[in-house]
Structure 1
C-alpha cells in the first residue's frame, strides 16, 4: 500500500495571510502539478514567471494587435462576444489610432464589469488562489494574446497575498465567465479583495502594495474572464482528496475483513486471472499485500465459504475507482497545462490546410512575427467534467460497499460476535443506532453521483447551447469525498471494535502489519466502546484519521 500525505478533507484554508518564505515555483505554462498548485494556494508558496514564457506572452500579444492593425476580424477584440460576434467594436483599417485604442479599453472595462455576476457564498481564499495559479499557468502557454502585464498582476496578487473576492456559484461550465471576471475587476481596482483575512476595496489594496491597476486593452478582458480556472480549481481539490480516499480503501477494507473473519479467496491471483480486467490484478495485489501476515491466511473452521457481496466485490469497486482517478488526473493535468482560450493565438502556426481560403484568412504576417488567430472551442472542459462525473460514480460504489460492510459487522449472524458489537459488560445499545448517519450520508452520495453535465438551458440568443456544469460536478465530487471520509470512519469504528472482541476470544489474534499500525493509531484517538457513550466526537475523529492517515508497509 502506498504512503500518502495527509490531506485534510474537512478543515478550512491553511492560508492565513502570512506567506511562507520558501523557494518560488517557476511557472512556464506546461509543468504545473496539483501538489505545486496547492502549495501556492494553501501555504503561500511564491510563484515566478519563466522568462521564456513571458516572451511568448509578449509575442502573442504583438501578433494579436498586428491582426487588429491589418483589419483581421478577431473575436473579443475587433468584434463582440457571444451573440454580438457579428457586431464590430471598431474599424481598424490598418491603423490603431488613439480613438481605436480607447474604444478597445472601454470595451474591455465594460466586459469585465458586465460579466461580474456570480452568486452564492464567496470562495475560500485558498480556492481563489488555486484558480489564479492555474489561470496564470495556462496564460503562460502564450495562446491568450493578453498583454504581459496581466500575467504580472496574477503573480503580484499571489505573492503579495491579495485575493479577489469571488462568488462560488454561477458557472454553467463553458468557461467560468461570471466568476473569473471578479479577478479582473479587482485588478482594475473596482472590486473587493481579501488581505490578511480582511475584506478591503481593491483600489486600497493596490495602492498600499504599489501596484498599478490594470488598464485592459485588446484581449485582456476575455483572457481573464473566459477561463475554466475556477471550476478546474475545484476539480483539482476534489481529485486530490479523492486519491486519499482511494489509497486508504485497501486498508479500511482489510480491517473490516479481519473484523468479519472473512475469506481472502476473492482476491487470490488465481481468481482474478479468470477475468483480467485492466488493473484488476494490481488492485487485488494491493489488498493481499495489505493483509500480509494476517490471521486470515490461516484456516479457520468457523470462517464462511462465502462472505456478503460487499466484501467479495470490493476489489472490483476499488479497481474502477483507481482507473477513474487515473483518467481524472490525466484530464486535469491537460486542463491545467494548456490554453482554454477562444480565439487561440498561435505563434508560428503550421501551414496545415492553409491552402484553403477559409483557413488562410486566420494567418497574420508581420516583419518579425507570424502566426494565426483561430476561432476555437478550446474553452470546452467536457473531458475533465466527464472524468469528474465518472470518478464520482465509482466513489459512490466504494461508499455503498463500505456501508454494507459496516452493517454486516453489526450483525452477529455474519460475525459470530455480539449483536451490534456490544461489549461484554454493556447492557445498552452499543452500535445499534449509529448506522443511521452512515446510511444518510450514503443517500446523499447516491444523489450527488448523478451526472449534471447535461443539465442546462440554451442562452445568449441560442448561440450558447451547450454546458458541462463542471464547477457544480466538481463541488459534488468534493461533497462525496467528504461524506466517504465519515463513512469510512464509521466503518473503522466498527472494524476495530470487532477486532477487539475477537481478541477477547483469541488474545494472540494476528493482524497484518498494516492493519495493526492503523489499529494502534486509531485506538490512540478512539477507545474501545465498553459502555454506551456519545459517539459524535468519535465519528469526527474517525473521519479525520481517514482523511489524514499516513500508511506504512
Structure 2
C-alpha cells in the first residue's frame, strides 16, 4: 500500500485540518459497537486525536479473559494455555490455594513463552512498510473489535492498543503476506512491538520498539493464554486500508461528478438523461443520486438554455454517465456497509463469549454445545468460528473495482469524443486558435493505457486461492490483494479524471464566454490557477500531475 500516502495525501490533509480542533477535544470513546468508518479515517489522519476505552467495555474484556482462564481450570482445551504448549497431558493444570483452583505458575510461564514464540513464528511480511495512517486505522479497528468482549484477551493487551495510538507509536508493518483469512503474518508485527521487539515509528521517527516504549513511559505486555491469537486472528489491517479507500472513493466520485459537469459543458451536451423526469422512470438509487448530483453541479449552466447546435442524442458514454457514476456509488455504499459491520464485530477464532448465567444445555453432556461451554466461577462458552473470513468485504471491494473500471470506460470515451469536431464543432484535438501543432492528439494513449490497466486490476482475485496448512486452510479470499487493486485503480481514476479535466477546461474556454454551473465554474477557476489554457503544444505531464492535486483538494461549493 505504498502509494496510499500519495493517493490520499491531500484528502488525508483535509481530514486532518477538519479535525485539528479535536486535538484538545474529548477523546474518541470506543465501546466495540458504535465506531464509524468516517471516525476511523479521521482518527488515522490526526495523530493528535486520542482514544479511550468505555468502562463497560473494559469490564467485558476482563470478563472474557476470566472465561478463558476458567475454561482452562475446567479442563476445556485452550490453545496456547493448556494445549499446544508442551504441557504434559497427565499433569494437572491447576493447584489448590485455600480451597480454590488456580492455574499453575509453571503452566502460565510456558504459555507466556508460547505466546512470544508464536508472535515470532507468524512474523513474516513482505515489501515496504504500510503507510502509518493505514496501520493506525487497523489498530483503532482492532481495539474496537476487542472491546466487544469476545477475544478472551487480557485487558493489558487491549490497553496497549490504546496506549500505542495515544502516544503516536506506530508499528512497522510490511504491506504484503496475508491471504485474507486473518492478517496473521502482518498483525504479528504489532504484537512484537507491544512486547518490546521489532520496530516502530515513534512520533515520526523510526526506532526499536523497546526504545519507543521507554521514551513513552510504557511497559511491554506479557501475552498469555490466547492473547497472541487475539493479536493475530484479525483482518483489522486490511479493514483499515479498505476504510481509508472507501472514504477516498467517496471523495473521488464527488470530484469526478464535477469534472463530468464541466466536460458536458465543453461538449455542449444534452441534459435530458439527467432530468428527474427521466431518471424517476427507472429509479435505481445510485443512478438517481448521480443524476441529482449532476443537475446540482450544472445549476446555472448554459446547458439549460436551448441551443440549435445541440444534439438530441449524445454518445452513450455521456448519456449513461448517471448509471456509471450511480453504479460506483452503490458499490461504494455496499463496501462501506460491510465495513461498518466488520469494524464493530469480532473476527476472532475461537470466540470467548461470556454470560451472566450458565447455558441451559450445559448440563447435557451429550449435546454438541456442551463441549464448548464453561460453567464455574465464570459462565459462557468458547466457540470455534469462521469469523476470520473476509469474504463479505473482499467481494464488495471487487465489486467496487469493477464499478470504477466501468466508470473509467465512460470517462475515456467522453474525453476522446471531445477531441472530435464532428461531435463538438470545436477544433480538432481541441487545438488553440494559434496552435498549428498536434494539440491533444497523442493524449488518447495514456487514457487507454490507464483503462487497460484498470481492466486487469478489476479481475476478481477472491477465486485465486490455494490449499495450505495440511489442507485445513483450503480456501481463502485474497481481500488484501483486492484492496491493493482498489488502491491502484483509484489512483488511475484520479489520473483519468485529470486528463478529462484538461480536455474539458480547454473545450469550455474554446467556446468563449458561456455560463457554467456553480460547481463546474468553481472547479474551472481552481484548475486554471494551476493549469493554463493550452495555446501551443507543450509537455502535458506536469498538467496531469497538477490536475490530480486539484481533484484531491476538491470540495463541494457551499449550498444556500
TM more than 0.5: yes
Does residue 1:320 correspond to 2:350, yes or no? no
Quote the residue 2:147 is aligned against: 140
Does residue 1:27 correspond to 2:66, yes or no? no
Q: How does 1:118-517 map to 2 (within 5 A)?
A: 118-348=125-355, 351=359, 357-367=367-377, 369-503=378-512, 507=513, 509-517=514-522
In 1, Cα distance between equivalents of 2:208 and 2:372? 41
1:279–1:201 CA distance, 2 compared to 1 (3 A): closer
In 2, Cα distance between equivalents of 1:353 and 1:314? 58
Deviation at residue 376 of structure 1 after TM alignment: 0.7
8 Å CA contact retained: 1:385, 1:473: yes
Q: TM-score under structure 1 normalisation?
A: 0.92
8 Å CA contact retained: 1:80, 1:88: no
In 2, Cα distance between equivalents of 1:180 and 1:224? 7
Quote the residue 2:548 is aligned against: 543
8 Å CA contact retained: 2:530, 2:546: yes
8 Å CA contact retained: 1:78, 1:89: no
Quote the residue 1:52 is aligned against: 56
Deviation at residue 70 of structure 1 after TM alignment: 0.4
Secondary structure of 1:347's partner? strand
8 Å CA contact retained: 2:37, 2:336: no
Residues 516-525 or 390-399, more deviating: 516-525
Quote the residue 1:11 is aligned against: 9
Quote the residue 2:532 is aligned against: 527
8 Å CA contact retained: 1:164, 1:182: yes
In 1, Cα distance between equivalents of 2:522 and 2:132? 36
Secondary structure of 1:320's partner? helix
8 Å CA contact retained: 2:61, 2:150: yes
Residues 421-470 of structure 1: per-residue CA shift (max 9 Å, x gap): 00101112211222222222221111111111111210001101111111
8 Å CA contact retained: 2:235, 2:390: yes
1:10–1:56 CA distance, 2 compared to 1 (3 A): closer
Deviation at residue 90 of structure 1 after TM alignment: 7.9
Deviation at residue 76 of structure 1 after TM alignment: 4.6
How many correspondences in the alignment?
537
Q: 2:67 aligns with which of 39, 63, 73?
A: 63
1:194–1:309 CA distance, 2 compared to 1 (3 A): same
Root-mean-square deviation over aligned CA pairs: 2.4
Unaligned runs of 5+ in 1: 1-6
Residues 54-63 or 206-215, more deviating: 206-215
Secondary structure of 2:470's partner? helix
In 1, Cα distance between equivalents of 2:82 and 2:162? 28
